[in-house]
């Protein structure tokens, strides 16, 4: 009897120690910088293979109104508490101006009325979150391509950076400001829009009011919400963490097609 | 009876270098793909059918449920609900349990880190795919698949199939001359895994990429939508785990040392009874 209890305690102890060793070993391998560097080699390979094999002008599938999710999940920031944003929200965005600057010939400040007057597009597409879920929604907004033509991109411009109103997480030093970036091929893709409507209603706060990017064919974290400013740049190394986006600075892939 | 016969041990060459190399690379890549896959699954431990998530009605869900003072891990499978505290939904050391799909010992890293899980997964996916191509091309060229994996006519008779099923159920496996070749159930299983489950794993994996879906829209439709593809990817992973468990169990049953030696050095010992060999 006591022997059996002793034995059970002993087996449990060994099992717990072995599990502890296993976890520590796995985490040590995972946290090793050389291992991380090796794993990241696949990221560049994936991007290059996708670039080589997938037509970059291919359209994301568009669905019908019957397919629209009734439970489209709002993720990341869903109600930014940042003061400039709150002020705009309280004022119904009447003083909101979308700034377009950086490497452009004609820097612009556009009101929501100006943006509504731009060539627009509606699309019912599937939004794929990096976490694994998908929701389908209808987006209406200004096509980015014609807008960029009006701003006149300079020759050196290679990327567009979307600076957002929201901060995500607890830091107060500005290191958690949300931002994203895309290249010019994606910027001129016909389905790339600055959406101001979702499912035929004004874009809700949870989904990025007053303006969110839709760059279909990439994951959800690329679809920047609460856009304040679009900056044309030659590279994004000097911005924030240098990886071209909030989640990219935290290790996620800049090319979010996978 | 056997005492009147002598048993000869015959050393045969069983596994080619192509098979042995690809086998062990597969062990490595499938282990890490599984552990990183479970890490990715844990970011949203629910599965759905169709294109989109129906958050209120997953067909599979692992989560933590708190009632009063106690928190339990609960796994729901359709209308069924199971208490899986300590394993699925809510696990960790007693007193320091946390809500998570699969437990920490099953994921890489042990702590919650979707970003690391993705990096491991997409790296070892390449090793897995290249290794699979090496295996298939190498063994088509050297004739291993045609010669050793396709069942022969005598194995496909109803009598033989029935005999094999009965023998397997009794855990009695071919010995002597019959053990020179794979038995028919073994052949069907290997063929189903190599040309069924593993390619399905790769294809359902590809269709979770929104870029692949834009470039090859037909592929995700074949699986019934992106969330269906994610579900099938998960189910196939389970089938692989099941295959590995049975495979390792049978390796132990038929002779662990002999099987391991043959998968490392290629040499396998057959015990051939006198008069058995013709």
Band (pLDDT 50/70/90 cuts) for residue A1 is low
- B54 part of contact set with chain A, CB < 8 Å: yes
Per domain, the residue ranges of chain B are 2-53+106-273, 54-101
Least confident of A182-186, B103-107, B165-169, B211-215: B165-169
In Å, how far is A95's CA from the nearest CA of chain B?
Answer: 36
B76 Cβ contact partners less than 8 Å away, ≥ 6 residues apart? B58, B60, B61, B82
Q: Do B41 and A54 touch (CB under 8 A)?
A: no
Burial class (CB in 10 A: 0-12, 13-18, 19+), A242: exposed
Smallest Cα distance from B117 to chain A, Å: 9
Q: What is the pTM of this model?
A: 0.94
Q: What is the ipTM of this complex?
A: 0.94
User: B112 in contact with A at a CB cutoff of 8 Å?
Assistant: no
For the cut 50, the answer to whether the pLDDT of residue B277 exceeds it is no
**With an 8 Å Cβ cutoff, are A128 and B41 in contact?**
no
d(Cα B49, Cα B227) in Å, to the nearest integer? 5
Counting every residue, how long is chain B? 278
CB contact under 8 A, B53 and A135: yes
Q: Which residue of A has its CA nearest to B123?
A: A42
SS (H, E, C) A204-222: CHHHCCCCEEECCCCCHHH
The mean predicted confidence, pLDDT, of chain B is: 94
Task: Look at the domain B2-53+106-273 and name its fold.
Answer: Fumarate Reductase Cytochrome B subunit (1.20.950)
CA angle at B36 for the pair B30 and B41, rounded to the nearest 5°: 115
Determine the distance in angstroms separating the CA of B252 from the nearest CA of chain A, rounded to an integer: 22
Which residue, among B268, B226, B273, has the nearest Cα to A129 in the 3D structure?
Answer: B226
Of B211, B216, B227, the CB nearest to A134: B227
Tokens 């629209």 correspond to: A68
Question: Are B43 and A131 an interchain contact pair (Cβ–Cβ within 8 Å)?
Answer: yes
Q: How far is A258 from chain B (nearest CA, A)?
A: 4
Residue B160 and residue B178: Cα distance in Å, rounded?
Answer: 12
Q: Is A79 left (phi over 0), alpha (psi -120 to 50) or beta?
A: beta
Option in A43, A61, A216 nearest B122 (CB): A43
Q: Is B196 on the interface with A (CB under 8 A)?
A: no
Among A19, A67, A219, the residue with its CB nearest the CB of B105 is A19
Residue A124 has pLDDT above 60, yes or no: yes
Among B34, B51, B210, pick the best mutation site for testing chain A contact (most A Cβ within 10 A): B210
The pLDDT tens digits for B134-149 are 999 999 999 999 999 9
Residues of chain A with Cβ-Cβ distance to B223 below 8 Å are none
Q: Say yes or no to pLDDT of A140 above 90.
A: yes
Inter-chain touch B226–A69, beta carbons under 8 Å: no
* Chain B interface mutation, best of A13, A16, A36, A42, highest count of B Cβ atoms under 10 Å: A42
Distance, in angstroms, between B242 CA and closest chain A CA? 22
In the numeric block, the tokens 């049953």 are attached to: B253
Distance from CA of A247 to the nearest CA of B (A): 9
- Crossing angle of helices B17-42 and B114-141, in 10° steps, is 160
pLDDT one-digit tens code per residue, B68-95: 989 999 999 999 999 999 999 999 988 8
B212 touches chain A (CB under 8 A): yes
The answer to whether B115 faces chain A, any CB pair under 8 Å, is yes
Secondary structure (DSSP) of chain B = -GGGS-EEEEEEE---HHHHHHHHHHHHHHHHHHHHHHHHHHTS-EE-SSSS--TT--SEEEEEEEETTEEEEEEEETTEEEE-TTTSEEESSTTS-EEESS-GGGSSSSS--HHHHHHHHHHHHHHHHHHHHHHHHHHHHSSHIIIIISPPGGGGSHHHHHHHHHHHHTT----GGGGGS--HHHHHHHHHIIIIIHHHHHHHHHTT-HHHHHHSHHHHHHTTSHHHHHHHHHHHHHHHHHHHHHHHHHHHHHHHHHHHHHHHTSEEEEEEETTT--
Quickly count: other Cβ atoms within 10 Å of residue A230's Cβ.
Answer: 26
Q: How far is CA B262 from the centre of its chain?
A: 21
- Chain A partners within 8 Å of B105 (Cβ): 19, 22-23
Determine whether the interchain pair B209/A45 forms a contact, defined as Cβ–Cβ distance below 8 Å: no
- Mean pLDDT of the region A137-164: 98
Residue A169 DSSP code: S
| Cα angle: A202, vertex A208, A209; to 5 degrees | 40
Nearest CB partner across the interface for A39, out of B46, B123, B215? B123
Percent of chain A with pLDDT over 90: 90
A-B contacts (CB, under 8 Å): 124
Cβ contacts (< 8 Å) between B227 and chain A: which residues? 133-134
Q: Is B50 on the interface with A (CB under 8 A)?
A: no
Interatomic CA distance for residues A204 and B143, integer angstroms: 62
Q: What is the pLDDT of residue A26?
A: 94
Asked whether residue A24 carries a pLDDT value surpassing 50, the answer given is yes
Are the Cβ atoms of B217 and A61 closer than 8 angstroms? yes
Average pLDDT over residues A94-108: 98
Residue A54's closest chain B neighbor by CA?
A: B215
Distance between CA A157 and CA A185 in Å, rounded? 12
Instruction: State the average pLDDT over residues A143-153.
Output: 98
Collect all residues of chain B within an 8 Å Cβ-Cβ radius of residue A42.
Answer: 119, 122-123, 125-126
When the pLDDT of each residue in chain A is averaged and rounded to a whole number, the result is 95
> Is residue B57 less than 8 Å (CB to CB) from chain A?
no
**pLDDT tens digits, residue range B234-251?**
999 999 999 999 999 999
How much is the average pLDDT of B24-33?
97
Q: State the pLDDT at residue A170.
A: 79
- Give yes or no for residue B59 having a pLDDT over 70: yes
pLDDT of residue B274: 67
Which pLDDT tens digit goes with each residue over A207-242? 999 999 999 999 999 999 999 999 999 999 999 999
Would you say the C-alpha torsion B98, B102, B108, B114 has a positive or negative sign? negative
Using the structure block, give the residue that is written with the tokens 């907004």.
Answer: A141
List chain B residues with CB under 8 Å of A58: 214-215
């Amino acid at each position: 009897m006591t022997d059996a209890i002793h034995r059970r305690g002993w087996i449990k102890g060994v099992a717990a120690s072995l599990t502890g060793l296993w976890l520590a070993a796995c985490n040590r391998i995972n946290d090793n910088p050389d291992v991380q560097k090796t794993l990241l080699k696949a990221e560049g390979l994936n991007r290059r293979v996708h670039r080589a094999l997938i037509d970059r002008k291919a359209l994301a599938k568009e669905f019908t109104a019957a397919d629209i999710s009734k439970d489209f999940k709002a993720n990341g920031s869903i109600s930014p508490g940042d003061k400039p944003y709150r002020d705009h929200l309280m004022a119904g965005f009447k003083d909101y101006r979308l700034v377009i600057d950086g490497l452009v010939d004609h820097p612009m400040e556009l009101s929501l009325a100006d943006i509504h007057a731009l060539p627009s597009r509606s699309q019912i597409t599937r939004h794929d979150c990096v976490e694994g879920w998908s929701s389908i929604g209808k987006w209406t907004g200004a096509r980015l391509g014609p807008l960029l033509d009006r701003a006149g991109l300079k020759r050196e411009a290679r990327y567009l950076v979307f600076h957002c109103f929201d901060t995500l997480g607890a830091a107060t030093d500005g290191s958690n400001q949300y931002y994203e970036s895309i290249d010019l091929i994606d910027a001129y893709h016909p389905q790339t829009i600055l959406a101001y409507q979702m499912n035929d209603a004004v874009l809700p706060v949870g989904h990025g009011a007053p303006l969110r990017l839709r760059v279909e064919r990439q994951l959800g974290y690329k679809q920047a919400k609460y856009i304040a400013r679009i900056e044309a740049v030659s590279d994004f190394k000097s911005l924030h963490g240098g990886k071209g986006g909030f989640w990219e600075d935290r290790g996620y892939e800049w090319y979010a097609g996978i | 009876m056997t005492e009147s016969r002598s048993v000869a041990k015959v050393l045969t060459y069983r596994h080619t270098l192509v098979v042995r190399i690809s086998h062990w690379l597969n062990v490595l890549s499938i282990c890490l793909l599984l552990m990183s896959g479970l890490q990715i699954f844990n970011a949203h431990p629910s599965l759905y059918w169709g294109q989109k998530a129906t958050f209120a009605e997953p067909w599979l869900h692992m989560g933590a449920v708190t009632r009063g003072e106690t928190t339990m891990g609960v796994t729901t499978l359709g209308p069924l609900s199971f208490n899986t505290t300590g394993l699925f939904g809510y696990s960790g050391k007693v007193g320091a349990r946390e809500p998570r799909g699969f437990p920490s010992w099953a994921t890489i890293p042990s702590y919650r880190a979707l970003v690391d899980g993705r990096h491991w997964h997409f790296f070892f996916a390449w090793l897995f795919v290249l290794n699979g191509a090496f295996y298939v091309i190498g063994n088509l060229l050297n004739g291993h698949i045609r010669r050793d994996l396709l069942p022969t006519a005598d194995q496909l008779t109803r009598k033989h199939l029935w005999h094999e099923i009965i023998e397997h159920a009794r855990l009695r496996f071919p010995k002597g001359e019959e053990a020179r070749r794979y038995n028919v159930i073994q052949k069907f299983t290997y063929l189903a895994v190599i040309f069924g489950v593993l390619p399905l794993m790769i294809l359902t994996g590809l269709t979770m990429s929104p870029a692949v879906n834009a470039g090859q829209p037909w592929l995700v439709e074949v699986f019934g939508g992106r969330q269906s593809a994610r579900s099938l990817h998960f189910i196939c992973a389970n089938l692989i785990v099941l295959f590995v468990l049975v495979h390792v169990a049978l390796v132990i049953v038929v002779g662990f040392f002999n099987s391991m030696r043959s998968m490392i050095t290629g040499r396998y010992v057959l015990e051939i009874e006198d008069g058995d060999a013709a």
